[in-house]
Amino acid sequence: MERNIRLERLLPYPHEQVWQAISDQRILGSWFMPNDLVPKLGEAFTFQMKPQRGWDGLTYCEIIELEAGKRIAFTYQGEATGEKALACANIHSRNADKVGKSIFTKLDTVLSFTLTPEYTCGGVEQTTLVMEHTGFKGPRLMVVSLIMGYGWGKVLRRLSSTLESETQNAAPMASGLARE
What is the share, in percent, of the chain residues with pLDDT greater than 70? 79
pLDDT tier at 145, thresholds 50, 70, 90: confident
The CA-CA-CA angle for residues 114, 27, 161, to 5°, reads 80
**41 lies in a domain?**
yes
**110 lies in a domain?**
yes
Q: What is the pLDDT of residues 14-54, one digit of tens each?
A: 999 999 999 999 999 999 999 999 999 999 999 998 887 66
Split into its structural domains, the chain has a count of: 1
CA–CA dist 159, 49 (Å, integer): 17
> Under a CB-based contact definition with an 8 Å cutoff, are residues 78 and 60 in contact?
yes
- pLDDT for position 115: 98
**Structural domain of residue 147, as residue ranges?**
2-166
CA–CA dist 86, 112 (Å, integer): 21
The dihedral through the CA atoms of 96, 99, 102, 78 has a sign that is negative
